[in-house]
Amino acid sequence: EVQLVESGGGLVQPGGSLRLSCAASGFTFSSYWMSWVRQAPGKGLEWVANIKQDGSEKYYVDSVKGRFTISRDNAKNSLYLQMNSLRAEDTAVYYCARDDRYFDWLLDYWGQGTLVTVSS
């Protein structure tokens, strides 16, 4: 069974940093692109970033470019999102998601999410 478990969320001041983690199990982590998706309170879904199997390619939505960094450790079956220069508008539940093996940019399985609140 595919399992994705996020951690690392919390309350942070504007301009601060936070690192999210996602522990994957139930599949061969190193064979899949992986993504982060976020959802602001009461709002819709927004794709944030993804990373290739070996970490050699990374893509970001424009609103986080230069501030967020996605990375992975295949030996630990883990995905990360380093978030710097955080803004109030980054407040959201952040989901770790697995990219579909056969279709680019399509997501299949999701974790339960971790809440990031940016506020003074």
Partner 1 sequence: DIQMTQSPSSLSASVGDRVTITCRASQGIRNDLGWYQQKPGKAPKRLIYAASSLQSGVPSRFSGSGSGTEFTLTISSLQPEDFATYYCLQHNSYPPVFGPGTKVDIK
Binding interface with partner 1 (CB under 8 A)? 44-47, 59, 61-62, 95, 100, 103-113
Least Å distance, CB 94 to partner 1, is 11
Q: How far is Cα 48 from Cα 103, in angstroms, rounded to an integer?
A: 18
Least Å distance, CB 109 to partner 1, is 8
Residue closer to partner 1 by CB (options 27, 110) is 110
Place of tokens 């994705």: 4
Least Å distance, CB 75 to partner 1, is 26
Residue closer to partner 1 by CB (options 16, 89) is 89
Q: How far is Cα 30 from Cα 24, in angstroms, rounded to an integer?
A: 10
Residue closer to partner 1 by CB (options 46, 82) is 46
Q: How far is Cα 45 from Cα 65, in angstroms, rounded to an integer?
A: 18
**DSSP letter string, 87-109:** -GGG-EEEEEEEEPSSSTT-EEE
